[in-house]
Amino acid sequence: MLNSKLNKIAEFFSGAYKKINKLREGKEKDRTEIEKIKDIVKKVDGWISDEEGKALYNITKNGPGEGVIVEIGSFKGKSTIWLTSGTKAARREKVYSIDLHKHDYSKWKGMAPDGTCGGVFIYKEHKNTEKIFRKNLKKAGVDDWVVPIVLKSEKAVKKWNRPIRLLWIDGSHEYRNVKKDFLLWEPYVIDGGTIAMHDTFPGFPISSISKEDIVRQPQCVGPTKVLERYVKNSQRFKIFNYIGLTTFIKKLKKQS
């Protein structure tokens, strides 16, 4: 009888030890993979930090629900690589990357009256980024897990019918365009799914943000205004994390 109990206890601790080891090995594997991605993306133009990228990687790999990942605004693929690396590692859903790939490189000084961009225009350069975007994805080994959609987001959504478990919004930062991206695509995000918005100030109201912060990061004004108007007091959404300039939002179940 005693031996039987001792055997059961031994089996319990043996099983627990194996589980702990498996978790440890999984975390170590993730760390190794993340370091590899860091080396890849440091050669790719873009404005997402490694910490923000790591968070996107973890959500696409381990996040809740079933549904594809949609990215609005991919530029040259820096965030796309982070997003895709996670979901591909877990053999989960593909990333649908929406970008017209006709970018204006602008340099401004000061602030415009509406606070959404710089005020004094210095120069502008037009460039198509689709070729380098696809090249960067191929170099990173994730091109087979990405579906590029070379359209404006408001056109792409007209033919959309898939559930989304992660919506990453990092397109135009003008308020009217961020608002459009949010309102058109949010309905496809599943209950319990995540909306991540880049270039946001971690705080409300927008009027409380210092002028110094706004001058330093004017691109954050439009997205933050959308958060304040459509997320802050909504019963459908809950902000659960801020990392860098990214706000992470959980979509809640609709109250009956």
Instruction: Estimate the crossing angle of helix 130-140 against helix 2-41, to 10 degrees.
Output: 140
Give the model's pLDDT for residue 256: 67
Give the rounded percent of residues in the chain with a pLDDT score beyond 90: 61
Q: What was the pLDDT predicted at 174?
A: 87
Q: What is the mean pLDDT of residues 58-77?
A: 96
DSSP letter, residue 207: G
Q: Are 140 and 89 in contact (CB under 8 A)?
A: no
- Flag whether pLDDT at 65 surpasses 80: yes
DSSP labels for 78-115? HHHHHHHHHHHHTT-PPEEEE---EEEEEEEES--TTS
Q: In the prediction, which pLDDT does 102 show?
A: 83
Model confidence at 120, pLDDT cuts 50, 70, 90, reads very low
Looking at per-residue pLDDT, the higher value among 208 and 153 belongs to: 153
pLDDT of residue 218: 72
**Res 123: pLDDT:** 42
3-class secondary-structure state, position 119: coil
pLDDT computed for residue 7 by the predictor: 65
Task: Read off the pLDDT of residues 160-198 as tens digits, 9 standing for 90 and up.
Answer: 999 999 999 999 888 999 999 999 999 999 999 999 999
> Of 190, 199, 125, 198, whose CA–CA distance to 163 is shortest?
190
- Residue 51, H or E segment: helix 50-62
Mean pLDDT in the chain?
A: 85
When mean pLDDT is compared over 102-106, 164-168, 219-223, 224-228, the highest value belongs to 164-168
Would you state the pLDDT for residue 96?
A: 98
Least confident of 2-16, 107-121, 229-243: 107-121
pLDDT of 191-208, one tens digit each? 999 999 999 987 666 667
The pLDDT assigned to 69 comes to 98
pLDDT value for 103: 67
Q: What is the pLDDT of residue 192?
A: 97
